[in-house]
């Protein structure tokens, strides 16, 4: 069974008919002339990749004749006249049904993205196509492509899916192929989900530049002074001030008026711990046992006003940092979403690992929120924000974490990584794993990882897999619990481990099949160079200079723009050159 297989994997107790894709030379593709843009694009994508896989170009028509067999894609008249009955209402925005017969195929999904996503699933499961990177689609050479006849349905469990890598935002067509539904409004690609990321919003709900001079009382009282610092999207608001509630609600309502397709809006704290300590706010927080007490009371009050103007729009807020703990008695309104943030968690071990002391509090908070809210989202962290290209042993925890979120009824997942760069440590591999897992959490992440490495690095794959296993085994044996801002020591890097990593990539370079694969391995090897620079131990000046020169050359060749979340690569390169002096 293929790693991405959702559709064609039933256990059949009796002989079954099969569709032979290599015998479809006289077939055509039917899409309604009045179909929405994503359904027409789905037909084009099916035509393109089917030809790549089978050598057969199927013509695209808008109506069916009586002689050809047909691949019907999307809703509309052709489906209605085909005799195939599909309950469209059950599919939602992104679900789809695939019906495979010896003489016809129907791929029909909910609007706006279901049919397009159904096509990609058919191509993966039926033809073995893999959308690995924006520049590398694996189309297997096959002498047979037989698909069991039957009816198959799928609806993704997470309605909001964001693998936060620049590769997805740079090439939204690729993001659509991975079913990341958060990066483009392009109707051809199905557009964005109408659910927005729940994020810091105090800075625009009650802008300090607009109100700060005349109404300093709108802003947080900290150590006896009104907070005026705008760092971290601040300052925080005085959340018990009734005028602030009104101002924030009016701003939210106005924004929804201007963006009528939205289904949620953020009403959430700034990214700073300078929350309001005035008597009114502190009274609630002390009574509720958490600063979330006053925050959630504020969000509920704004949500009540928003509901009067837009009853179908949810109000989302972060349970983050000092607000992650549930209040004792205050409960979120029915139109409030809660997004937990796992920033304090260990990234090496799965969040629900009972032996990881850093993760227990998050699990307790997740459980507590699950008792009082039925609309929970998660903001999870999947990179080293201090050093994007440093070895980062979290590949074993991604799959278990996504499955943990699924078991806890999470509806949206923001998997934050190095979204402002394209050359982080094994970023293409991570993007593939994350995207596949948040689309279908029941996949085997270990198999996904090995599949990508073998297809992408070909003959050079084994040393890269050995590097990954060595890195993770060493971190686990070292007893470390790295967060998302780790130092080299925090991930278990020592001179001998850094040297092993470097040697694995040297082996991989020597095994590269051709210049294309060699370039892929070179890009992957940047992390081993960074490990040697930061944790390789003492070395001769000439050796260190050659190492840094080669590192900078590789980074520039592979378009590294950021060395860290808040440090551009060019700045870091200059720091390295100065260190040689």
pLDDT in tens, 150-189: 999 999 999 999 999 999 999 999 999 999 999 999 999 9
The verdict on 43 and 118 lying in the same domain is yes
Do 148 and 208 belong together in one domain? no
Whether residues 23 and 137 share a domain: the answer is yes
Same domain, 140 and 204: no
Across residues 537-550, what is the average pLDDT?
96
Q: Are residues 133 and 77 in the same domain?
A: yes
36 and 131 both lie in a single domain: yes
pLDDT at 86: 87
Per the domain annotation, does 13 fall within a domain? Answer: no
pLDDT for res 142 = 79
At 301, give phi and psi (nearest 5°): -65, -45
CA distance 384 to 271: 18
Distance CA 271, CA 274 (A): 9
Residue 280 is assigned to a structural domain of this protein? yes
Alpha helices (runs of H) in 2-113, residue ranges in sequence order: 37-54, 77-82
pLDDT tens string 158-169:
999 999 999 999
Residue 351 burial (10 A CB sphere; 0-12, 13-18, 19+):
buried
Burial class, 135, CB count within 10 angstroms (exposed 0-12 / middle 13-18 / buried 19+):
exposed
What is the model's pLDDT at position 145? 85
What is the DSSP secondary-structure string of 368-424?
A: HHHHH-S-EEEEEE-S-TT-TTS----TTTHHHHHHHHHHTTEEEEEEE--TT-S-S
Q: Tell me how crowded residue 123 is: count the other CB atoms within 10 A of its CB.
A: 25
Q: Are 227 and 235 in contact (CB under 8 A)?
A: yes
Q: Any residues with CB less than 8 A from the CB of 315 and at least 6 apart, and which? A: 252, 264, 265, 266, 267, 299, 302, 303, 306, 333, 335, 336, 337
145 with 215, same domain?
no
Res 422: pLDDT: 84
Q: At a CB cut-off of 8 Å and minimum separation 6, what does 112 contact? A: 36, 38, 93, 187, 190, 191
Residue 165 forms part of a structural domain: no
Report how far residue 420's alpha carbon sits from residue 170's, in angstroms, rounded to the nearest whole number: 10
pLDDT at 11 over 80: no
250 burial level (CB within 10 Å; 0-12, 13-18, 19+) = middle
Cis peptide preceding 508, ω within 30 of 0 = no
Of the CA atoms within 13 Å of residue 66, those in its CB half-sphere come to 0
Among candidate residues 122, 155, 188, the one where a domain is terminated: 155
- Domain final residue, candidates 155, 178, 208: 155
**Could you give the 3-state DSSP secondary structure of residue 339?**
strand
Examine residue 248 and state whether it is found in any structural domain, yes or no: yes
pLDDT at 410: 98
Average pLDDT over residues 495-524: 98
**Residue range(s) defining the domain that contains residue 213:** 196-314
Average pLDDT over residues 279-308: 98
- Residues 6+ away with beta carbon under 8 Å from 62: 30, 31, 32, 33, 78
Question: Which helix (H) or strand (E) element contains residue 155?
Answer: none
DSSP result, 252-287: HHHHHHH-TT-SEEE----SSS----SHHHHHHHHH
Task: Specify whether 122 is located in the same domain as 209.
Answer: no
Helix (H) or strand (E) holding 336: strand 336-341
Domain boundary among 314, 331, 352: 314
pLDDT value for 85:
84
| Interval 312-364: pLDDT, tens | 999 999 999 999 999 999 999 999 999 999 999 999 999 999 999 999 999 99
Q: Does residue 150 lie within any of the structural domains? A: yes
**Does 138 lie in the same domain as 29?**
yes
With a cut of 80, say whether residue 497 has pLDDT above it.
yes
Q: What is the pairing mode between strands 567-568 and 562-564?
A: antiparallel
What is the count of structural domains for the chain? 3
438, 161 in Cβ contact below 8 A?
yes
Per-residue confidence band for 65, with pLDDT thresholds at 50, 70 and 90: confident
pLDDT, tens only, 78-129? 888 888 888 899 999 999 999 999 999 999 999 999 999 999 999 999 999 9
The average confidence (pLDDT) of the chain is 95
Beta bridge partners of 146: 20
Residues 147 and 219 in one domain: no
pTM of the predicted structure, to 2 decimals: 0.96
**Domain-embedded: residue 99:** yes
Mean pLDDT for the stretch of residues 372-379 = 98
pLDDT-based confidence at residue 563 (cuts at 50, 70, 90): very high
Per the listing, tokens 């993966």 go with 124
Domain presence at residue 400 = no
**Residues, the chain:** 581
Determine, yes or no, domain membership for 8: no
The helix/strand/coil state of 358 is: coil
Indicate left, alpha or beta for 71 from its phi (over 0: left) and psi (-120 to 50: alpha).
beta
Q: Helix or strand or coil: residue 99?
A: strand
Cα(23)–Cα(363) distance, integer angstroms: 52
Q: Who wins on pLDDT, 4 or 62? A: 62
**CA 119 – CA 108 distance, rounded (Å):** 9
Burial of 84 (0-12, 13-18, 19+ CB in 10 A): middle
Q: Is the pLDDT of residue 459 over 70?
A: yes
Q: What is the pLDDT confidence band of residue 16, given thresholds at 50, 70 and 90?
A: confident
pLDDT beyond 60 at 5: no
CATH of the domain at 35: 3.30.379.10
Q: Are residues 89 and 207 in the same domain?
A: no
Answer yes or no: do 26 and 143 share one domain: yes
Residue 382 in contact with residue 430, Cβ under 8 Å? Answer: yes
Calpha distance 20→23 (Å, rounded): 6
The stretch 370-381 carries a mean pLDDT of 98
**CA neighbor of 69 nearest in space, from 104, 25, 29, 17:** 104
């Amino acid at each position: 069974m293929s790693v991405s297989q959702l559709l064609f994997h039933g256990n059949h107790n009796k002989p079954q008919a099969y569709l032979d894709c290599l015998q479809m030379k006289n077939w055509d593709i039917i899409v309604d002339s009045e179909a929405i843009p994503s359904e027409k694009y789905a037909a084009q994508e099916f035509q393109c990749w089917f030809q790549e896989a089978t050598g057969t170009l199927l013509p695209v028509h808008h109506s069916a004749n009586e002689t050809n067999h047909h691949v019907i894609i999307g809703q509309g008249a052709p489906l209605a006249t085909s005799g195939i009955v599909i309950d469209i209402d059950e599919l939602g925005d992104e679900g789809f049904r695939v019906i495979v017969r010896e003489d016809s195929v129907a791929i029909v999904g909910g609007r706006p993205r279901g049919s397009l996503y159904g096509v990609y699933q058919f191509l993966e499961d039926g033809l073995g196509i893999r959308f690995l990177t924006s520049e590398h689609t694996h189309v297997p050479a096959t002498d047979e492509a037989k698909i069991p006849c039957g009816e198959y349905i799928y609806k993704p469990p997470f309605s909001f899916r964001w693998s936060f890598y620049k590769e997805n935002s740079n090439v939204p067509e690729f993001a659509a192929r991975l079913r990341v539904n958060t990066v483009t409004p392009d109707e051809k690609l199905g557009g964005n989900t109408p659910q927005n990321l729940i994020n810091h919003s105090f800075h625009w709900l009650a802008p300090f530049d607009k109100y700060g001079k005349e109404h300093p009382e709108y802003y947080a009282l900290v150590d006896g002074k009104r907070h005026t610092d705008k760092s971290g999207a601040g300052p925080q608001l005085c959340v018990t001030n009734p005028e602030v509630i009104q101002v924030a609600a009016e701003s939210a309502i106005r924004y929804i008026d201007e963006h009528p397709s939205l289904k949620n809006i953020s009403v959430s704290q700034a990214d700073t711990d300078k929350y309001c300590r005035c008597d009114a706010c502190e009274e609630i927080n002390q009574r509720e046992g958490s600063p979330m007490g006053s925050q959630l009371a504020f969000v509920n009050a704004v949500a009540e006003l928003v509901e009067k103007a837009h009853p179908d729009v949810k109000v989302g807020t972060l349970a983050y940092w000092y607000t992650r703990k549930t209040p004792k008695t205050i409960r979120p309104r029915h139109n409030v979403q809660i997004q937990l943030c796992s920033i304090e968690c260990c990234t090496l071990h799965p969040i629900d690992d009972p032996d990881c002391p850093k993760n227990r509090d998050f699990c307790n908070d997740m459980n507590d929120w699950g008792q009082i809210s039925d609309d929970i989202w998660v903001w999870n962290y999947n990179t080293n924000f201090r050093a994007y290209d440093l070895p980062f042993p979290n590949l074993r925890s991604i799959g278990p974490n996504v499955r943990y979120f699924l078991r806890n009824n999470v509806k949206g997942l923001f998997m934050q990584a190095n979204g402002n760069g394209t050359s982080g440590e094994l970023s293409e591999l991570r993007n593939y794993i994350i995207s596949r897992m948040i689309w279908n959490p029941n996949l085997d992440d270990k198999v996904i990882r090995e599949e990508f490495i073998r297809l992408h690095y070909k003959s050079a794959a084994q040393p890269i897999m050995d590097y990954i296993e060595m890195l993770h085994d060493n971190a686990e044996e070292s007893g470390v619990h790295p967060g998302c801002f780790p130092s080299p020591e925090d991930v278990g890097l020592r001179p001998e481990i850094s040297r092993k990593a470097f040697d694995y990539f040297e082996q991989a370079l020597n095994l590269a099949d051709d210049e294309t694969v060699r370039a892929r391995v070179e890009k992957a090897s940047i992390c081993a160079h960074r490990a040697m620079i930061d944790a390789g131990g003492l070395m001769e000046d000439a050796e260190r200079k050659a190492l840094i020169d080669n590192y900078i050359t590789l980074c520039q060749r592979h378009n590294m723009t950021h060395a860290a979340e808040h440090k551009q690569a060019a700045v870091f390169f200059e720091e390295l050159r100065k260190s040689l002096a």
